[in-house]
Structures are given as C-alpha cells and as structure tokens.
C-alpha cells in the first residue's frame, strides 16, 4: 500500500476532496522458491524513471479528474530523486513529441516537437525511442539530432539502435524499438534487439512503442533482457510478467512518471518484479527519506543500513519494484526548466499568431454578432457549460496559458481567430462559442455568405479528448448541449 499512500499524501495537499486517480492493480508477487539465482555480484542500485506517449503535453493537465503532469513538476521530481544516494536514469518509450487533436497545424507541431524534446533534455533525458507519430514535424532529422533510438528501423537516416549510460558505477543499456509505419517496416524485432545488445552492462532495457504482441515476442525471445519499458498502447496495463522479461508500461500524457527501483546483485538477466515486503520498503524509503526533513547524518546512517539490508536479501538476484508517481501540486515550485517553459509558451503564441492572421472565410465573427438573428440559440447557449469555459481558467489562474486557452475559447490560433492571451485580446473570443463548433462564419447572413462546417463527433473531440474529457460519450454529451436540442429551422428573425 506504500505506493498508494504516497499518492494520498500527494493529493491531500492540493484540494482534499479530489478523487484518487485510477491506477492499475499491482502485479502478482513472484514466487520466491521459483527464482533461479544468477552468479552473485556486488549490489548495484538504480532508479529508472520512465515516461511514454507524452504526446506533446507540456503543462499540467487541466483534466477534471487527474490534474497532474507537466515538465516543471517532472523536473522537480527528478531534482528530489537526484538527492538520493541512488543514480537516476531518465528514459522515454516514444510518442513523445506530437500532440493529438489540438496539434492544429504543421507550424504548431514543429514548434511543439522541438520544445518538448528540449524540455525532456532539460530534465535530464538519457535515452528515448523513436516512433512514427513523432516523424511528422521535423522528420527524421529532428529525431536523429536528439539521439532517438530505433534498433528495428535499420539505421534510418542516422538513428542509432542503442545507448549505454553509465552513472555512479551503474551501467545500463537501452535499445530503441519503434512501431512500424509504411516507410519503416517492423523487421524482426527480436533479431534487431539481440544485434544491438553487444556491450557489457548491468542491465538491458528495451524502450518500445511497438504493439503488445511485438513486446511479448521480445520479452520472451531475448535472453538476458532486464525488462521491456513500453508506451501504454490502447489502454494502460499493470506490469506484465511473461515467460521472459517483464513488460512495464508508462501511463500516457506525462501525468505520471513510472519509477523502476532496481537492485541488481547478479549479471544481466531478466528482472523479477517485487510487489511487497521488505525489498520494496527498502528501495522506496531510500529516496523518500530525502523528501523528509531529517538530519543529514541520521539520513546517511539509515541509508547505509538500508543498503546492507538490501545486500542481504538480493544475493544472486535482479529485482525491481515499480510504482507510478503522479506529478501533483506537491511538486510545484521553481525549477531549472522554467525559462524553457516560458520560451515554449512564447513559441506557441508565435505560431498561433502566424496562423491567426491568415484569414480564411473572413474569419470569426464572435457570438455577439449572431445574437441579432439567432436569439433563442444565444439565450440557451448562455446556460451551457461552454458559455463559462473561460471562467474555469480564470478560477484556476490559467487564463494566460496558451495551452489551456486553446480549448476554453473560440478560434485561438485559427485563421481569422486570435492569438494573444491578454484579457483584451481574449475579450470577444472568450468561452466556447457558436463558431468553436460551427467554424468561422464572418460574412454569414443566412442564405448567403459563409456556411457552418458540419458539426460532427470529431468537432467535439478536438477539445473533448481523452485527457481533458475522459468521460466523453458523443450521444450523452450531444444531448446536453442546448444547440442540438433546439429544433431547426429555429429562431431566425426574418
Ligand atoms: C473549443 C473546444 C470545445 C469544443 C469544440 C466542444 N467543447 Fe464541450 N466543452 C469544452 C470545455 C472547455 C468545456 C468545459 C467548460 C467549463 O465548465 O469550463 C466543455 C463542456 C462540455 C459539456 C459539459 C460537461 C459537463 O459535464 O458539464 C458538454 C455536455 C459538452 N462540452 C459537449 C460538447 C459537444 C457535444 C461538443 C461537440 C458538438 C462539444 N462539447 C464541443 C470545450 C469544447
Ligand atoms: C484539448 C482541449 C483542452 C485543453 C488543452 C484544456 N482543457 Fe480544460 N477542459 C476541456 C474540456 C473538453 C473540459 C470539459 C470536460 C468534461 O466535462 O468532460 C474541460 C474542463 C476543464 C475544467 C473543469 C471545469 C468544471 O468546472 O467542470 C477546468 C478547471 C479546466 N478544464 C482547466 C483547464 C486548464 C487549467 C487547462 C490548461 C492546463 C486546460 N483546461 C486545458 C478541454 C481542454
Ligand atoms: C458545442 C457545439 C455547438 C455550439 C457551441 C453551438 N452549436 Fe449550433 N449546433 C451544434 C450542433 C451539434 C447542431 C445540430 C447538428 C446539425 O443538425 O447539424 C447545431 C445546430 C445549429 C443550428 C441549426 C442548423 C441547421 O442546419 O438547421 C443553428 C442555426 C445553430 N446551431 C446556431 C448556433 C449558434 C448561433 C450558436 C451560438 C449561440 C451555436 N449554434 C452554438 C453545435 C453547436
Ligand atoms: C443577419 C442574420 C443572421 C446572422 C447575423 C447570423 N445568422 Fe445564422 N442564419 C441566418 C438565417 C436566415 C439562417 C437560415 C438560412 C439557411 O438555413 O440557409 C441561418 C442559418 C444558420 C446556420 C445553419 C445553416 C448553416 O450554415 O449550416 C448556422 C449554423 C448559423 N446560422 C450560425 C450562425 C452563427 C454562428 C452566427 C454568428 C456568427 C450567425 N449564424 C449569424 C441568419 C443569420
């Protein structure tokens, strides 16, 4: 329960009544009698911090149920972890750069991709896997320049298969396994990984955004592999024990960081996942203690005692304890990536500005100009949540954050829309107005001029995405909006 306790503690300080995040159940404990011991080596400890499918999420999620995440909090967590007497390795399984539905155009995506990889490096990223969805913005060149790994893409334009990182005497090897796309067929994943594992390291990991079937083949087919560290795919699974190495999935969107506490007392081999008992307590208290304000001497003595306890219990084994840490408000505060974040926000605004001036269909007329003819619709819309969307941002003090403004206003960064986050500029574009759904309609006067674009499920999902509206169900939500309830032809004044 220690893992959940941490989460409770993390939550209680920022709101009290907030619902607990839904985390996967813990895996089955390993049957100690069934474990084959390896040749004994001195104990080496490390923490691998895993993210995956971050998908361009830079800020804390505005999500109603899990308001976690963001690079600032990630940086703060890593800073704390680096105080512990155990080296930290930071890795990402891929799908890091490109944002889903709100990545509106090429420019926005490129700006975001470059900022995200820069921020990840700012927090100390050691290795990351290439993935097809990250190819869109700067193409392969951006990935290659920042050292993305892909063992199975056959040396595509300078991508490397593997990276070995040594820190405080611990050597870990990371092999990239990228999902396939048209120009990069899957190849033989097992062979590609085996071919990459040439050096001598304390443990090998595969960073994978390939599908579960491929991950299973690799986990069971590559002898001596420590673990497959993967993106979550269609849904988030708890750590999976296989006939070979375990598979650990990172929760998506950067809202959590998965910590894998390693205690390695043998040559490189498959990791045993431990879920309970003293190993976990020892591994976890070793860095948690850093968060409590206790005397440094006491801390050091306790830490050494823990190490001795671990040594006694890990002879000949390679064990790992896995926990998901929510990036909650506990971690708020100044960090070393603050100036990078500031530059990111400016860059996003810059990209929005360029798009907004390109006027398309005459641009946005805003809701006040619809009221003359569609009185009933305006009146009923006023009672919808959409009409108060900016208020929610003002309440959470995020009305000046371009990442949030995009979905809580109308026409942000769109051709003929607006692109500044000062009160004055937002003014007429505040809230989710008519044209957020119907599209820009300046010049529309009934039978002539601009027409509504079709309003479909995709229109809603542009904002009601998996992160910000996890309960979204099209027909339920559609029934709740006033506009769809008014029969057409409606209120139009002659
Ligand atoms: C421009 C972004 C955007 C679009 C497009 C959008 N929404 Fe929303 N929607 C929001 C935001 C933001 C909120 C939350 C408003 C608040 O309370 O601050 C919201 C809230 C809602 C709510 C209220 C939820 C609740 O539990 O009270 C419903 C229902 C809803 N939207 C339905 C829809 C439907 C149906 C569509 C498509 C036809 C749609 N929305 C399109 C941004 C959008
Ligand atoms: C991709 C679009 C999107 C982005 C980006 C976004 N939101 Fe939202 N937000 C929504 C939608 C949609 C809802 C309504 C969710 C629902 O009820 O299903 C919502 C709801 C909310 C609510 C809850 C309103 C209520 O009282 O129920 C708050 C608060 C909020 N968002 C704040 C933020 C903040 C802060 C940010 C920036 C960090 C942000 N949002 C970014 C789409 C977005
Ligand atoms: C959350 C998205 C959303 C918002 C905001 C919204 N509408 Fe709609 N509107 C819809 C949907 C969905 C329909 C019904 C779908 C359809 O029949 O095409 C619709 C239908 C209409 C129709 C009838 C269309 C027809 O073909 O007869 C009119 C007129 C209209 N809306 C005007 C407005 C005005 C004016 C506003 C602002 C006050 C507004 N809408 C705000 C989603 C929205
Ligand atoms: C000068 C009066 C007038 C104003 C102003 C006006 N409309 Fe309309 N609108 C009409 C009339 C008349 C119709 C019905 C004609 C038709 O269905 O072809 C209509 C139809 C529509 C429709 C359904 C037809 C379509 O294009 O799909 C939508 C949606 C709509 N209006 C949205 C808006 C929005 C949003 C605004 C504000 C930006 C707005 N209207 C401003 C007169 C107006």
Q: pLDDT (tens digit, 9 = 90+) per residue, 74-109?
A: 999 999 889 878 899 999 999 999 876 444 567 777
The neighbour count for residue 362, using CB atoms within 10 Å, is 15
What is d(CA 371, CA 422) in angstroms, rounded to the nearest whole number? 25
Nearest-CA residue for ligand 1 atom 19 is 386
Find the ligand nearest to 493 CA. 4
Choice between 139 and 431, residue whose per-residue pLDDT is larger: 431
User: Which of the listed CATH numbers 3.40.50.720, 3.40.50.300, 3.60.21.10, 3.30.499.10 matches domain 38-331?
Assistant: 3.60.21.10
**DSSP class per residue in 333-390:** S--TTHHHHHHHHHHHHHHHHHHHHS--TT----GGGTTTT-HHHHHHHTTSGGGGHH
Give the ligand 4 atom nearest the CA of 366: 38
Q: Which pLDDT tens digit goes with each residue over 388-414?
A: 999 999 998 889 998 899 899 999 988
**In this predicted structure, what is the pLDDT of residue 65?**
78
Band of pLDDT at residue 290, cut at 50, 70 and 90: low
**Is the pLDDT reported for residue 145 higher than 80?**
yes
The pTM assigned to this predicted structure is 0.83
Band of pLDDT at residue 347, cut at 50, 70 and 90: confident
Q: Which pLDDT tens digit goes with each residue over 320-331?
A: 999 999 999 989
Cα 473–Cα 477–Cα 482 angle in degrees, nearest 5 = 165
**In this predicted structure, what is the pLDDT of residue 108?**
73
Band of pLDDT at residue 249, cut at 50, 70 and 90: very high
Residues of the chain with CATH 3.60.21.10: 38-331
* pLDDT (average), residues 151-180: 92
What is d(CA 480, CA 145) in angstroms, rounded to the nearest whole number? 48
**Ligand 3 midpoint to CA 415 (Å):** 21
What is d(CA 143, CA 71) in angstroms, rounded to the nearest whole number? 19
Give the ligand 4 atom nearest the CA of 494: 12
**Ligand 4 midpoint to CA 481 (Å):** 18
User: What's the chain's average pLDDT?
Assistant: 84
How large a percentage of the chain has pLDDT more than 90? 49
**In this predicted structure, what is the pLDDT of residue 485?**
80
**In this predicted structure, what is the pLDDT of residue 6?**
39
Choice between 469 and 100, residue whose per-residue pLDDT is larger: 469
**In this predicted structure, what is the pLDDT of residue 14?**
39
**Is the pLDDT reported for residue 277 higher than 60?**
yes
Nearest-CA residue for ligand 3 atom 25 is 488
- Point out the least confidently predicted range of 64-78, 117-131, 182-196, 218-232: 182-196
Give the ligand 2 atom nearest the CA of 61: 38
Ligand 4 neighbour 437 (Cβ under 6 A): no
């Amino acid at each position: 329960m220690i893992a959940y306790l941490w989460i409770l503690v993390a939550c209680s300080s920022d709101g009290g009544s907030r619902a607990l995040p839904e985390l996967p159940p813990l895996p089955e404990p390993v049957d100690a009698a069934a474990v084959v011991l390896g040749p004994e080596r001195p104990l080496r400890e490390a923490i691998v911090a895993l993210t995956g499918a971050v998908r361009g999420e830079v800020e804390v999620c505005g999500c109603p149920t899990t308001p976690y995440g963001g690079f600032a909090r990630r940086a703060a967590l890593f800073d704390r972890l680096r105080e512990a007497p155990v080296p930290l390795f930071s890795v990402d399984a891929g799908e890091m750069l490109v944002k889903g539905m709100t990545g509106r155009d090429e420019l926005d995506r490129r700006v975001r991709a470059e900022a995200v990889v820069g921020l990840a490096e700012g927090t100390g990223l050691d290795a990351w896997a290439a993935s097809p969805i990250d190819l869109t913005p700067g193409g392969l060149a951006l990935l290659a320049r920042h050292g993305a790994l892909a063992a199975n893409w056959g040396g595509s334009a300078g991508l490397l298969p593997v990276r070995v990182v040594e820190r405080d005497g611990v050597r870990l090897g990371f092999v990239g396994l990228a999902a396939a796309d048209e120009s990069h067929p899957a190849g033989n994943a097992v062979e590609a990984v085996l071919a990459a594992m040439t050096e001598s390291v304390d443990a090998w990991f595969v960073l994978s955004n390939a599908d579960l079937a491929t991950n299973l083949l690799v986990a069971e087919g590559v002898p001596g592999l420590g673990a497959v560290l993967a993106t979550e795919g269609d849904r988030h699974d708890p750590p999976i024990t296989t006939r070979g190495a375990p598979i650990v999935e990172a929760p998506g969107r950067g809202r959590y960081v998965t910590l894998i506490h390693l205690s390695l007392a043998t040559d490189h081999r498959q990791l045993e996942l431990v879920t309970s008992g003293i190993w976990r307590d020892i591994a976890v208290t070793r860095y948690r203690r850093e968060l409590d304000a206790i005397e440094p001497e006491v801390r050091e003595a306790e830490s050494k005692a823990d190490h001795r306890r671990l040594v006694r219990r890990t002879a000949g084994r390679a064990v790992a304890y896995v926990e998901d840490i929510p990036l909650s408000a506990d971690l708020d505060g100044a960090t070393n990536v603050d100036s990078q974040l500031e530059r990111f926000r400016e860059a996003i605004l810059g990209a929005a500005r360029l798009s907004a001036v390109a006027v398309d269909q005459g641009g946005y007329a805003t809701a006040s100009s619809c009221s003359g003819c569609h009185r009933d619709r305006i009146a009923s819309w006023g009672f919808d949540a959409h009409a108060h969307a900016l208020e929610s941002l003002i309440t959470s003090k995020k009305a000046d954050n371009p990442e949030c403004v995009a979905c809580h206003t109308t026409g942000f960064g769109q051709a003929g829309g607006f692109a500044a986050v000062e009160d004055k500029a937002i003014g007429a574009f505040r809230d989710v107005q008519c044209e957020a759904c119907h599209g820009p309609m300046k010049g529309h006067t009934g039978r002539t001029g601009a027409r509504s674009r079709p309003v479909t499920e995709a229109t809603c999902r542009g904002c009601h995405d998996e992160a910000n509206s996890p309960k979204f169900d099209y027909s339920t939500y559609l029934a709740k909006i006033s506009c769809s309830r008014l029969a057409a032809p409606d209120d139009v004044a002659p």
